Amino acid sequence: MWKVVFRWFGEGHDPVPLEYIRQIPGVEGIVSMLIDVPTGEVWPKERILALKKTIERHGLTFEVVESVNVHEDIKLGLPSKDRYIENYRTTLQHLAEAGVRVVVYNFMPMFDWVRTDLWKVLPDGSKTMAYDHRVLAGLSPREIIDRMKRDGRSFALPGWEWERLEEIERLFALYESMDEERLFANLVDFLKAVVPLCEELGILLAIHPDDPPFSVFGLPRIVTSKKQILRLLEAVDSLANGLALCTGSLGVLENNDIPDMIRTFGRMGRLHFVHLRNLKRTGDRSFHEVAHPSFCGSLDMFAIVEALVEIGYSGYMRPDHGRMIWGEEGRPGYGLYDRALGIAYLLGLWEGVERMRGEVSRSREEFMVASSGNP
């Protein structure tokens, strides 16, 4: 049975109270980060411990961090990268000392995830995020950022490091000569510098796939398919070099067979985290996010959960992005209500699949203890 966790951005950065998250049946822990530490700097140990304390006070665990972002100089392979790698290693040490088991990161040049509309209104009145490649085609990166800032209301998007994006023109020039092979080589160099330490610390690194899984603004993308991910896992052959499989990122491409990826990477012992959500493909490189059930979108969530049950997945799972419903205001994708509905649905699928297979990986009592924090 997976461990259900919920993403929360920290006090003052997330309007969803931990008290409410605790009340979602099945949730055991929080996935969080120190969102205000600039990328490349060390995460102070006292701050990590304070975050852990806050989370644990609410009967929840803190074992997964998302994300410790990778400094651009590492992705670019600049000589200045050594200092940032050293800082990354120190952060990993601090996280391990606080009991963190899984650390998520991504290796997307300059941007984290990209959408062209953060507030698309669906026919039922709910709001969701959408991406349409044709919109980007006509916009300069600077225009996109100005727009995101305007439409993002008071919330910065996770992983969007504004201080870095302020230097957008300079970074674009640096990436001009970068192709996929060089970016891949830089990722492997980075992993070789941190994976042995993770092995010692008992930390599992989990790379998040590129979102969307194709080039935006002509920048290279190297974590978009089974083939690319396999190559990466094999290049640094350690259990500590693993994957955060995000169905909503990989699922944008119809050719990505997600249940097959789950079976392959899971059997290699390299699946450390899964992000479960659904989306609707609406054309060539365009889609919008939908509620979690299969009938709402293009992904077969039953087949996805079935594959997880089949490999005996016991890592972490979080319901990914939800829509904004019932008048909720908050961070796009990260409201309380729709993600909570998502959990209820996903747990229902899990229970159904297990019972059909005549398996029960966790008794009712064990489940209650795990998710309530009270023996």
Q: Which of 32, 39, 61, 67 touches ligand DNO by CB under 6 A?
A: 67
40 binds ligand DNO (CB under 6 A): no
CB 222 within 8 A of CB 107: yes
Give the Cα separation of 197 and 203 in Å (integer). 8
258-267 and 226-235 helices cross at what angle (nearest 10)? 10
Supply the minimum distance, in Å, between the C-beta of residue 156 and ligand DNO. 11
Of 194, 222, 209, 207, the C-alpha closest to 270 is 207
Sign of CA dihedral 308, 198, 104, 336: positive
331 binds ligand DNO (CB under 6 A): no
Q: Which of 41, 56, 112, 328 touches ligand DNO by CB under 6 A?
A: 112
Task: Give the number of residues in contact with ligand DNO, rule: CB under 6 A.
Answer: 14
CB 318 within 8 A of CB 275: yes
Site string (72-111) toward ligand DNO, x via CB under 6 A: --------------------------------xxx-----
129 binds ligand DNO (CB under 6 A): no
Q: Which of 40, 212, 213, 333 touches ligand DNO by CB under 6 A?
A: 333
354 binds ligand DNO (CB under 6 A): no
Q: Which is nearer to ligand DNO, 205 or 353 (CB)?
A: 205
Give the Cα separation of 69 and 41 in Å (integer). 10
Residue pointed to by tokens 């398996």: 359
Residues 6 or more apart whose CB falls under 8 angstroms from that of 310 comprise 263
Supply the minimum distance, in Å, between the C-beta of residue 207 and ligand DNO. 8
User: Residue 66's beta-bridge partner residues?
Assistant: 104
Active-site amino acid positions: 208, 246, 275, 320-321, 334
Exposure letters 200-226 (e unless 16+ CB within 10 A, then b): ebebbbbbbbbbbbeebbebbbbbbbb
Residue type, position 110, single letter: M
Q: Which of 141, 159, 213, 315 touches ligand DNO by CB under 6 A?
A: 159
14 binds ligand DNO (CB under 6 A): no
Q: Which of 208, 285, 323, 331 touches ligand DNO by CB under 6 A?
A: 208
Site residues for ligand DNO per CB under 6 A: 66-67, 104-106, 112-113, 158-159, 208, 246, 275, 321, 333
